[in-house]
Amino acid sequence: MKILLAVDGSSFSDAAVEEVATRSWPEGSELRIVSAIEPLSFPTSEAWVPPDNYIVALEKAAQERARSIVNEAAERVQTLQRDKLRITREVATGHPKHVILSDAESWPADLIVVGSHGYRGLTRLWLGSVSQAVASHAKCSVEIVRAPSLAA
């Protein structure tokens, strides 16, 4: 089985990591852990543009943070699963729902596991829901994990 686990460092993502780490998987299963870095955008006029070194520093910091998130997730899964899963890691730039869906299709994944922030109402409308978009458009099964404090 090929499992794609999407992580972003939030407690909701941590719940998804824990779900994957504690579950029994079929022998020979593969786990791909992916984190997406949102493209930088500056809501400013064209009269002011940040210096290039500022943008480069932001991009480097985002890459390092995403790598750290992916590595922490991999270590947690490996601690509990030992050698039962073959784990690969990926950091990509793009909107999370697009990165997840594209990676799942090109790999191809049998299952996508994502955490849910549980947004409702206007917040969900303004921010959108990555988990809902992934569940609606994925060509494979999707498991949406809620953090225990939200499951009620």
Residues 6+ apart with CB under 8 A from 123: none
CATH number of the domain within which 57 lies: 3.40.50.620
Q: Kindly report the average pLDDT of the chain as a whole number.
A: 87
pLDDT at position 126 is 46
The pLDDT tens digits of the residues spanning 62-72 come to 999 999 999 99
pLDDT at position 150 is 46
Which pTM does this prediction carry?
0.86
Q: How many domains does the chain have?
A: 1
The residue range of the domain holding 69 is 2-42+51-150
Q: pLDDT above 70 covers what percent of the chain?
A: 83
Between vectors from CA 24 to CA 107 and to CA 144, what angle results, nearest 5°? 60
The pLDDT tens digits of the residues spanning 20-51 come to 999 999 999 999 999 999 887 766 666 666 77
Using the CB atoms, write b or e for 75-101: b if 16+ within 10 Å: ebbeeebeeebebebbbeeeebbebbb
DSSP state letter for 150: G
CA distance 115 to 15: 7
Number of Cβ within 10 Å of residue 65's Cβ equals 15
Residue 110, pLDDT > 60, answer: yes
The pLDDT tens digits of the residues spanning 120-147 come to 554 444 445 888 889 999 999 999 998 7
